[in-house]
Each structure stands twice: as structure tokens, then as C-alpha cells.
Amino acid sequence: MTLTAWWHCWAVNRRISRTWRSVGVANPINLDSIGTLNLERLMYIKSFIDKLSDFVEQVYKVDTAVIAAYYPEWLERGKGAVNYLSAPEFPTDGKNGSFLFPGGYITNADLSTYRPITSHSDEFLIKGIQESAKHAWYKDEAPQAPWEGTTIPAYDGWSDDGKYSWVKSPTFYGKTVEVGPLANMLCKLAAGRESTQTKLNEIIALYQKLTGKTLEMAQLHSTLGRIIGRTVHCCELQNVLQDQYNALIVNIGKGDYTTFVKPNIPATGEFKGVGFLEAPRGMLSHWMVIKDGIISNYQAVVPSTWNSGPRNFNDDVGPYEQSLVGTPIADPAKPLEVVRTIHSFDPCMACAVHVVDADGNEVVSVKVL
């Protein structure tokens, strides 16, 4: 990426922060008030959406193709779990029953195995998720459904064959899966979403123009494949953002200022709930049990837990681990190749990559901020 492009990225990021401040997470809507979401702020948001669309098309998409052309080896490295899971996103009915973007599940990197997930209440989705602490420093090693999940620390030292992580290992019907932009893109492609295929084809065409080569589908299961998936998603989101803004203006014009659906939970009895979100890093879910008006259990299965989890209960390696197998390291003291692949997952925490020699001695620890 050129210095000019980097500066443009930084400027766009600054505009995003200012836009969030002007919208306000929980601001009421009043077109005449200076302290709420008013007409002036709505027009500012519209101007930013237009600028963001220009950036995605003219900078982000082009940079992705250029990086793929100049670093083709990263289309062959970084292959992860090859089972992919994605939640549907952008509800269209206010009840999480229908969605603009489809979710789904793909096994063995084969798009023909795609199983659609159509709602957040899909029993196939809810019943398939478990977490194991067999290789994490917690009690209760056997797989647990999140509603029954426990998180009780039990640190007993590092062990290559035992516990070696503070992250649990989530599975979907017993399988390790990858979530995130690659999973999101592949599920939308398998579902036949036309705009996803169109945006991917545009990147492939740019890549072919630069290299004279065709970007194959098999190469998407890679470090750069995740970058491409994230770019495709952003290209689609610019259109969604325009549509969502127009829908907001129409609702305001009709006098509909509703911003959320108020829950109605009885004061007595036990109730279970789960919320899903296809976040930029992948599928996020929060699981809650309420008993007599009090939260009795709360578990979160977040994107970076899915991807950074250690070996699962069956000792299958996690997505991060699998993606690093076979990666050539030019300098073990500066394992930048490791960082490059882990960055493609966009981990949500400051991550520490530890390089250990054959005797278990740490060679170097690289902290990525």
C-alpha cells in the first residue's frame, strides 16, 4: 500500500469515528433539536456515505488486487479449518426472521455442501454450537452448550499435549470451523447472492489485468482470501448503507422514530435467549439464561474465540493453528509470516505469538498492538 493510500485509509477511519459521534448510539430522533439526530446530522451522514463508497471502489478494491498480484504466494498459504460458518445479517422484518444477507455452513471447502441458515432462531444453528476447555485453562473439559456453559479458571501450567490457552475451543456439530470475512463471502457465493459474485469478479478481473493469470476459487482458502473476502463484503456494504439510509429517511418522513424492539420478559420463571450477529470479524453470539428476573448464566462465543481456539475435544487443531502449518519462516527471531496470516483473521485482542523451540523454550514473543 502506498503512503498516499495509507493516509487516505487513516482519514476515512477518522471520518467513521466522527460519524458515530454525530449519530450517537442511543440518540433520539428530532429533526429540530441540536442535541439529537437532526436534519443537519442526517445530511452529514449522507455526505460521508458517498465519500466512503468512493474510497471502497477507488482505493480499497484496487489495493486488494494489487497486493494479490505482488504477493501471490499468500494465495497459497494460510489455509485454515476449511469448514465455514456464517450467520444471516441485516434483518428485514424487525424480528430476526428474514435477512438481507444469508448465513450458512460449508464443510471441507466444498461450496456444494452449503447448508443455509435463514434466521437467528434456526434450530440447526443453535443446537450445533458447543465449547470445550480440554486444552484451555478452565474446568469442565467436556463440550458444553453455551446456555449450560461454565468459565471457571484452572491454570496448571503450559503443556503441549494438555492445556495451553486461555481461549476455549468452539465447535459446530463437533467440527472446528472458521468464521469471518472468508466464511461470509463463501456462504453468500454458495447461496447464489448475485452482488457477491459481481464484486468478487471485479477483483478477479483487476488481478488478471495485472498478472495475466486467473484467480482460482481454491486460492481463496488462504491468507489473501480473507483479505479479498473482507473487500468484497465492504463493496456490498456500501450499497446496503445507501439503502439503509434511504429507509431511515422514509421512516422519519412517516413519523416512525422507533429505534429498538422493547423486550417483555416476565418477572418469574426461567427463560433462555441468544443473539447472533455477523460482525466484521465473523459470527458473534451472546447466550443468556434469566431466572426470576435475574441473569443466572451469560456466555459469549465471539469471532476470535472461534478462530483462535486451541485443539478441540477431539484434538483437531484450531483455525489459527491450521492456517500456520507449513508456513515458511525466513527468520524465527522475527516471524513476520506468522503475523501476516494471523492479521488476515483480524483478531479482536492484542495477540501474542510465541515461538518455541523443540525443547519447549521460548525463542521470541511478538506482541501485536
What the chain holds in terms of domains, given with CATH numbers, is 1-353 (1.10.645.10)
Q: Which of 222, 108, 115 is nearest to 176 (CA)?
A: 108
Greatest CA span in the chain, whole angstroms?
69
Q: What angle do CA 111, 300, 106 make, to 5 degrees?
A: 5
Count Cβ atoms within 10 A of the Cβ of residue 330 and give its class: 0-12 exposed, 13-18 middle, 19 or more buried. Answer: exposed
For residue 28, the model assigns a pLDDT of: 56
Helix (H, G, I), strand (E, B) or coil at 180: coil
For residue 39, the model assigns a pLDDT of: 82
For residue 14, the model assigns a pLDDT of: 59
Helix (H, G, I), strand (E, B) or coil at 213: coil
Query: Residue 3: pLDDT band by 50, 70, 90 thresholds?
Result: very low
Residue 135 marked as a ligand binder: no
Residue 351 marked as a ligand binder: yes
Q: How far apart are CA 185 and CA 230, in angstroms?
A: 8
What are the pLDDT digits (tens) for 296-311? 999 999 999 999 999 9
Over residues 197-209, the mean pLDDT reads 98
Over residues 239-255, the mean pLDDT reads 91
Q: Residue 303 belongs to what H/E stretch? A: helix 303-308
Residue 235 marked as a ligand binder: no
Q: How far apart are CA 347 and CA 305, in angstroms?
A: 9
Q: What is the pTM of this model?
A: 0.87
Q: Which of 160, 170, 161, 163 is nearest to 138 (CA)?
A: 163
Per-residue cell: 72:
501471490
